[in-house]
Amino acid sequence: MDFDILHRVVFISGIVVLIAALVINARRTNNWVGLIKFWQPRVAMSPTEFKVHRVGVALMIAGVVLSLLSQLL
C-alpha cells in the first residue's frame, strides 16, 4: 500500500474514532453542547471513553508521521 493512501486512511480513521468517543460521551451525559464547547469539560470521561479518545488521537498522530515519512522517502 502506498504511503499516501495509508496516511490518509490512518488519519481519517483517527478522526472517526475521536468523534465516536465524543459522541459516546455526549450520549452518556446528554450534554450535546459539550461537543461544541469541548474545551470546557462539564462531566469527566469514563475510562472507556478516555481510551477510545486516546486511540483516536494516536491514530491521527500516526497519520501525520506517515505523511512526513512519505515526503522524506
pLDDT of residue 34: 74
pLDDT of residue 72: 85
Domain ranges of the chain: 3-72
Q: Which residues are within 8 A (CB) of 63 and not within 5 positions of it... i.e. 6 or more apart?
A: 7, 8, 9, 10, 11, 12, 14
pLDDT of residue 41: 66
C-alpha 22/C-alpha 65 separation (Å) is 24
State pLDDT tens for residues 19-69.
898 889 888 888 888 777 766 666 778 899 889 989 999 999 999 999 888
pLDDT of residue 7: 87
